[in-house]
Amino acid sequence: MSGRSTHHLSIEVVRERNAARLVVDGDLDRSSAGELRDLGIDLVDTCSHVNVDLVAASVIDSSALGVLIELNRAAPAAGCGFDVTIGPAYQRTLFATTGLDDYFDLIQAP
């Protein structure tokens, strides 16, 4: 077994006027969550609204939740709206079991 994981994280930034969407694809863990933090902090400082789209995230660990919490705290201070889009059942379970389903403004993808 060698080479890059087929579930390597990629994050696409989609800008729409003064809003931005961070579309996550792949595994979001301790070693990759920093990329989401760096992109997210820059965007909440410069946008009126930021959405993190997790629908295609195959793993979301507690480090990634920690980054989302940091962004959710930073956004209001910067005058930025912030929400998170989730999809598969395991993602709903993740947010519910950690009690974060009420903390975040969650959007359930169709």
Partner 1 sequence: MDEAANEPHGPPILRIDGESNGWLAVVRDAVREVIGAGIDADASSAFLTAVSEIATNAEAAGVRAGTSRPVVVTVDAERRAVEVTDFGGGFDPDQHRGLPGPSVSSGRGLHIARAFCPELTWARTATGMTCTLPFPEPV
How many residues lie near partner 1 (CB under 8 A)? 33
- What single letter denotes the amino acid at residue 55? V
Question: Tokens 């696409």 belong to which residue?
Answer: 12
Distances (CA, A) of 92 to 54, 55, 69, 85: 11, 10, 16, 10
Q: Does 108 bind partner 1 (CB under 8 A)?
A: no
Q: Which stretch binds partner 1 (CB under 8 A): 15-23, 38-46, 74-82, 96-104?
A: 96-104
Binding mask 56-95 for partner 1 (x = CB under 8 A): --xxxxxx-xxx-xx--x--------------xxx--xx-
Q: Which residues are bridge partners to 16 per DSSP?
A: 19
* Interatomic CA distance for residues 81 and 101, integer angstroms: 17
Binding mask 12-31 for partner 1 (x = CB under 8 A): ---------------x-xxx
| Structure tokens belonging to residue 43 | 């965007």
Contact set with partner 1 (CB under 8 A): 1, 4-8, 27, 29-31, 58-63, 65-67, 69-70, 73, 88-90, 93-94, 97-100, 102-103
